[in-house]
Structure 1
Amino acid sequence: MTAVGTPPASAPRAAAAATRRSRRTTAPGGRGREALTGYLFIAPAVILFAVLGLYTVGYGFLLGFARWNGFAPHWDWVGLDNYADLLWRDPVYAPRVREAAVNTLYVMIAVPVLTVAVSFPLAVALDRVKRAQAVLRSVYFLPYVTSGIAVFYAWQYILQPDGAVNYLLGVLGLGSLQEPQGFLGNPATALPTMIVVTVWTEVPVAMLMYLTGLQTIDRGLLEAAELDGAGWWRVQAAVVWPLLRPITAIVVLLTLRSALHGFQTFLIMTNGGPGTHTNVLGLETYRLAFLSKFAPTLGLASALGWLLFAVAILLALINLRALRSRV
């Protein structure tokens, strides 16, 4: 009979077996087998990334220094000539790239500013709504999850000369604001209209990010500011807005990326027209790669793509530096 509090005789044997198993698993050979098993599991993903990622990136980078039409068995190595042709030397490509760069700069300035100006007040208003908040949030987020091509064609339809926008302006007695050529057919209104459509697609994500940030703010800070005599506007400007500065930096970075690289909206709705008034760098890269009448231009398209990548990296570093300096 075993005394109370005395471990059974089998306990030392079980502890010794557990120790031996632990030693086997922690031995150098055991660790090596575990590491090999882990490497075998991740090997397919690594190989796929190397083939579709690193190889593609490296191939595109080298293509920027060559002249190739996509069909010839060999490249013609031209060094930095593609970059020189795009930036200043070629009388055909350089003017188009400069005009596209100016249009892209307008988009890069207007889209982040307007997105923040619309999404932040919208998030503040939605945060104050207690009833049907989930429904309203879904409604505001709908433009982001709707099929892009269908939405862009719908915008193109309502912006036509006989579209809904001109009709609504006529009904409201604002016929002087109507556009007989359509808002996308008038060179003076085409680019601003495309900026508005781009902002419309960017606002849902930015609004949701701001709303998430608002719901994480300590309500005690807001109550303390109100007790100190700060009104609602003062609280938003002096307390809420500074606390959401990191989210603003992320929103600006995302919208800058979309404005710099995005071209699907411009391709579907205007194809750079009228003339070249809505031609942006992303669309120009696509044209050089697939739609150029002057062959071969795949090297030029790759060079322009890497220039856009360099600008995107530079903007990201500036944004990160500005964010760190304010934290």
Structure 2
Amino acid sequence: MTTDVPTSPGTATVSRGRTGRSPGGRRRYQAREVAWAYAFVAPAILLFAVMGVYTLFWGLQLSFVQWNGLTPTWLWVGLRNYTDLLWASPVFSPPVRAAALNTVWVMIATPLLTVAISFPLALALNRARRFVGLLRSIYFVPYVTTGIAVYLAWQYVLEPNGAINTLLGALGLGSLAQPQGWLGNPDTALPTLIVIMVWSAVPVATLLYLTGLQTIDPALTEAAQIDGAGWWRVNLSVVWPLLRGITAVIVLLNIRDALQGFQIFLIMTDGGPGDHTNVLGLQTYRLAFQSELAPTLGLASALGWMLFVAALVVAYVNLRVTRER
């Protein structure tokens, strides 16, 4: 609502808004507000531009050159880094293919096991009536604990004289123990690391499922129960479809960690034994910082960009599948 305030008889009136400012004053006020907003946002934008955009394009350029990271000049090789990683080089392509196979296993097993464990766990916690806060805190501890400390603790548990082999021997299941340790046996090293990754991923997935469960209208499940559906049928036919979006997010997060994560593989096994736990993220790190076949920094950048493109493709496919359903 505007009011017309005459200045004197016979003169034009000035339209003012609710704030009592003229249109010109309002524009100046809005301009100042916008300027202050940009002033507060500018440091974050500048930091992102320097650490994000600039680094991104620098890394893309680096993937087309041969450079050891120390000399002032580099050698432009075009797409040779990519072809060497994929098939052309007998030195670099075999480790990449082996790491890609291990990464695929991690990409498949980790999301499936995380969903299979976290969804029933969330259902159980959602039905709990006592000590709900305590139980949720306990299940969330693996996520908030420092990763390096947890991985080192797991190493002690999994070594030849560790807690798992000792427990198996005490239960009369010594034949299942691993004399080399669970990380020293090529057949058990990768599955063991997958189990630890699932153990770390379940808390967040459970929390996401709990959040989704609390948004579901109880009338839907009550209607299904009135129609004769049992507990399993209600959760599989009513609750599970309503949480499909959350499941897609959980799967995507785990696939991202499988593609780009390497911390657990570097700390616990360093890709061993015999590269049986080497993954693409760790292979990128090795090419960048541990390779004795210098210069390989361009190869590392090329492999990193291939992982980035693979992550985009996975995210796009996941989004399309979710939308279609």
Same fold by TM (over 0.5)?
yes
1:256 aligns with 2:255: yes
Question: Closer, same or farther in 2 for the Cα pair 1:233/1:37, shift >3 Å?
Answer: closer
Equivalent residue, structure 2, for 1:124: 123
Cα RMSD (Å) of the superposition? 1.7
CA shift for structure 1 position 12: 7.5
1:155 aligns with 2:159: no
Mapping for residues 229-308 of structure 1, pairs under 5 Å:
229-308=228-307
CA shift for structure 1 position 145: 0.2
Q: Deviations over 1:222-266 (max 9, x none)?
A: 110000011111101110111111110000000100111110000
Equivalent residue, structure 2, for 1:88: 87
Cα distance in 2 for partners of 1:63, 1:264 equals 23
1:77 aligns with 2:76: yes
Mapping for residues 40-51 of structure 1, pairs under 5 Å:
40-51=39-50
CA shift for structure 1 position 52: 1.2
Q: Deviations over 1:142-193 (max 9, x none)?
A: 0000011010001011000000000010111111100000010000100100
Cα distance in 2 for partners of 1:320, 1:276 equals 33
Cα distance in 2 for partners of 1:130, 1:151 equals 31
1:124 counterpart letter in structure 2 = L
Q: Scaled by the length of structure 1, what TM-score is found? A: 0.92
Number of aligned residue pairs:
314
Cα distance in 2 for partners of 1:211, 1:226 equals 21
Q: Deviations over 1:262-314 (max 9, x none)?
A: 10000000000001000000000000000101100110000000000000000
Equivalent residue, structure 1, for 2:24: 24
SS in structure 2 of the partner of residue 278 of structure 1: coil
1:55 counterpart letter in structure 2 = Y
Question: Closer, same or farther in 2 for the Cα pair 1:213/1:33, shift >3 Å?
Answer: closer
- 8 Å CA contact 2:288, 2:297 repeated in 1: yes
- 8 Å CA contact 2:14, 2:22 repeated in 1: no
1:251 counterpart letter in structure 2 = I
Gaps of 5+ in 2: 8-12
Cα distance in 1 for partners of 2:48, 2:25 equals 31
Cα distance in 2 for partners of 1:198, 1:110 equals 10
Q: Deviations over 1:100-144 (max 9, x none)?
A: 000000000000000000000110111111100110000000000
Cα distance in 2 for partners of 1:288, 1:185 equals 24
1:194 aligns with 2:193: yes
- 8 Å CA contact 2:178, 2:185 repeated in 1: yes
CA shift for structure 1 position 39: 3.1
Equivalent residue, structure 1, for 2:10: none
Equivalent residue, structure 1, for 2:60: 61
CA shift for structure 1 position 17: 8.9
